[in-house]
Structure 1
């Protein structure tokens, strides 16, 4: 049995269109709407960082942070209708569970929106433990959330699966092998991200888990 912890946005799900919708809803209407490439570049390090990047990108006053963040969070839990699951994710999670592996989820998305989107997409049942960006004082790339999840899952071999430089840094800090999903929201070329292995299709993941055993 392996403890396998996953990132969420950009790894299991593509939520950028929903996040784009929230961001444009809270922007002043006279400003240019935020684009999908901008949204993907802003994501990955928690909602406070997302809002700060949004403020910088639209040259908004820094004291608008609290209002924008409050408006964002008020909409986040119900922003699920344009989020999609990457191909093969549900089948792979089911296969990994059936093989006896224990699964956790470590995301910088706040816990309530994370649980809401997992429930909406029918993925919640696969995970034994979930920690969001507001579950602990620390968030990724600090290793504390990943280590807390792994401690809850037991003491067998561990793997972390993510899509970004932040995830790679988190895994390295936790001394956990990192598997990189290359089709998510990296900030730069995926061949520059340090990892134990990389994959572009979830159908390859069970084989990688077996190989690393």
Structure 2
């Protein structure tokens, strides 16, 4: 039914990173650029879901250079996540074994750092399943390009040589980005999304990755 498939990473293939780790990395970044005691709300703002306006507002408050601070923040965030993977604190979901059944080109588009995504794929021997992988580069521009913007999905589709693809994600922004790129979306309702109400409608809603091969073959997923 589809010529290719593209996956989100965190919350779909790999487990989510603990929020406390995000906050610690943000504090590390402030300390690295000379801000010893940042306000809690600024640490929170730089922990997850960062936008360009938020970044500029925080940097203006402390007199920081946004590109320099953001590169520092992303580097430290990637290092902490890589360490969590090495310690076994951030793993993969059991149903990633469904990747073995894929019979068409696959890619990844994540809003996490490219360095984090690549490290995890190598650590869990998953890189062999994918022809193209996009995470964010450590630049301010990447915040404009990340989901729900379609930019990285469009790049992946170009690499895969098709616009006939399915995007599999676990968030509303995943569905929005897929639709903005002109492709269908499958929403994976992992336990961390159990009570979430979407304001957008994915073409499929599934409990896990075991349903993906059926969807690709044009069959209704068992959990839809």
Q: TM over 0.5, yes or no?
A: yes
Alignment correspondent of 1:106: 109
- Aligned-partner Cα distance in 1 for 2:40–2:120: 24
Alignment correspondent of 1:163: 170
Question: Structure 1 length as normaliser, TM-score?
Answer: 0.73
Change (3 A) 1:167 1:117: same
- Aligned-partner Cα distance in 2 for 1:6–1:167: 9
Do 2:25 and 2:77's aligned partners in 1 also have CA atoms closer than 8 Å? no
Over 4 Å off, 4+ runs: 28-34, 61-69
- Aligned-partner Cα distance in 1 for 2:63–2:178: 34
Number of aligned residue pairs: 195
Alpha-carbon deviations, 1:75-127, whole Å to 9, x = none?
514332321212211x111111xxx2110001111212210111112211111
Alpha-carbon deviations, 1:150-208, whole Å to 9, x = none?
1211237311111111111111111101000111766x724544100011122222112
Q: Does 1:205 align with 2:212?
A: yes
Q: Does 1:15 align with 2:21?
A: no
Do 2:25 and 2:76's aligned partners in 1 also have CA atoms closer than 8 Å? no
Specify the structure having the higher radius of gyration (Cα). Answer: 2
Three-state SS of the structure 1 residue aligned to 2:186 is strand
CA RMSD of aligned residues (A): 3.6
- Aligned-partner Cα distance in 2 for 1:194–1:107: 20
Question: Structure 2 length as normaliser, TM-score?
Answer: 0.70
- The answer for unaligned runs of 5 or more in structure 1 is none
- The answer for unaligned runs of 5 or more in structure 2 is none
Alignment correspondent of 1:182: 189
